[in-house]
Chain A
Amino acid sequence: MFNFSKINGRSLFTTVRGYTILILFAIVFLIPFYWMFATALKGDDQLFQIPPAWLPNPAVWDNFAQVFREVPFGKFLINSTVLVIWNVFGQVLSCTLVAYSFARLRFPGRNILFFVLLATLMIPRQVTLVPQFILFAKLGWVNTYLPLILPAFGGSPFLIFLMRQYMMTIPLDLDAAATIDGANRLQILRHIIAPISMPAIVLVAVFTFTDVWNDFMGPLIYLNDPDKFTVTLGLSFFQGAKETSWDLLMAGALMAMIPPMILFFIAQKRLLGGLAAAGIKG
């Protein structure tokens, strides 16, 4: 039987093959970024050349500034940031409290309630979308940020699950020792469990940041006033108005993706590890 391992230079062959595959993947997945970037720097006259130019000449850096002049992009950025801050605050607070309880306290019905929590992971968003909208509309909250912030304070089932799994790994002796020292449960959580669970808390914050920053349907449904638009909604509004200004659209899209990308670069080790853990345990 033909066996590669008997050939000299097998390792060279597999190395070259490996890098070739990786580079091909990288080209295919990264080229759209380049195309977007190149387009963002093109002038009107360069946009509709056939064949399209690979390098913008001259590079019109002013396109990025032009986005801010055409639409209140600065306002969109601030709006998205406000929503992100509130959501991260709400999720971190609630997920920590709830996960702590599910992971480390005993109470009747805990397992059933935890099972219910897991079951809600399976409920598709569209079933609650319409009635939630009606609820918030009847409360007069359409065109405010409340519908986009309040639910975060209930905690996301997925993030609660992630944090609970993490807190389960902390030895219970720590709680017992702190109790003997006279600490109450809130103090135990604040001074012992939460600091140890920092990796999970960061994960919750990062997930929430990206989810809220990237959300399109929520703002689309609840916000009408362009002054209140988020970056994602602002982009679609921009697209509707400027169908042919692909240079500006690409500049806007590029700016919209920078914050989650920066965050990803900072937190990538933890994020990828956490995602993987969630995947296996799910």
Chain B
Amino acid sequence: MSANIIKTWRQMPTSERREAIAGYLFISPWLIGFLLFTVGPMLFSLYISFTRWNIVGDPKWVGLANYERIFTADKDFRQALLVTFSYAAIYLPLSTIVGLAMAMALHLKLKGVGVFRTMLYLPYVVPSIAATLVWVWVLNGRFGLVNTVLAWVGIEGPNWFGNPRTALYGIVMIGLWGVGGSAVIYLAGLQNIPEHLYEAALVDGATEWQKFRFITIPMLSPTIFYLLIMGLIGVFQTFTSSFVATGGGPLKATFFYMLYIYNKAWESLRMGYASALAWVLFAIILAFTVVVFRSSALWVHYEAERD
């Protein structure tokens, strides 16, 4: 197929040439935007990551000094990485389980299930800052909803965002509130599983669990895979909830990587160092994505026709 696309400009008949010119013209908004707002800034960012620069004056070339400091001396970097990874380790499995459970509930053939779908999706469209404010209040140690409910069963709830041991779980809850966004995608995946597979399983006397384990999970694995990748990228960009709820505290317990970049660039105006941090993060995300992609051969099941 690609062989006949490679045709030199001169060999093209006029009509094809005109179509090609139109084609380039039509994509030019994206192409210009891509060069101006993505490629240009990325190259520039790579350059200034080797400099010291507070945005006024000229960048001062420091070679690998920023990177060296990040990997050898920077305690904040390690803390930010630790927080972000801990969050990923708690949030990603939970959002997969809760999102899948929600999708399966929404997949039941019951009257009025569409109303539930709407209700459960609703928190996902709430602006992150509003969601964060709601949860800061809901998780308030003394006047919050969660601790009020916990008090009914005799548990004294913690001061969630004021306690370094629980603050991260507060952020996890803010994230999980929007899990309806993943649930509708899982739901679409569930709806695409052919009914006859379950019917066949029923004939074979399979239990509910066996149907779930040997039909639902394999058939849904491409969706799980997709949401895992998107979730991974999203986790590393977590910013608003920690910025607003805790400012990274207490004791840097919610000091997310993105917050660190923000502090370096916009609080201390260290553009070079912030850029180096961003590139290190990019490399980490890339490495993780590659690992997930590689591992997908082991657990993601694609239908034969897609191979």
Contact = CB atoms under 8 A, between A and B. Distances in A.
A277 interface: yes
Contact of A32 (B106, B138, B151): B138
Interface stretch (A62-70, A197-205, A246-254): A246-254
Interface residues of A, number: 98
Given A25-B116, A35-B137, A129 B125 contact: no
Contacts of B133: 235, 239, 249-250, 253
A261 B129 contact: no
A130 B278 contact: yes
Contact of A126 (B9, B22, B237, B286): B237
B44 interface: yes
Interface in B77-124: 102, 105-106, 108, 110, 113, 116-123
Contacts of B27: 97-98, 101-102, 113
Contacts of B37: 128, 132, 150-151, 154
Given A15-B110, A35-B145, A133-B265, A25 B26 contact: no
Interface in A26-45: 26, 29-33, 35-36, 39
Report the contact-size class of chain B (Cβ under 8 Å from the partner).
35 or more
A125 B258 CA distance: 10
Interface of A: 1, 3-5, 14-15, 18-19, 21-22, 25-26, 29-33, 35-36, 39, 47-52, 93-94, 97-98, 100-102, 105-108, 110-111, 113, 116-117, 120, 122-135, 137, 150-151, 153-155, 157, 160, 185, 210, 213-214, 216-217, 221, 231-232, 235-236, 239, 246, 249-250, 253-254, 256-257, 260-261, 263-265, 268, 272, 275-280, 282
13 contacts: A36-B134, A107-B22, A126-B282, A129-B265, A130-B261, A132-B41, A135-B41, A150-B37, A154-B36, A232-B130, A246-B137, A250-B133, A279-B226
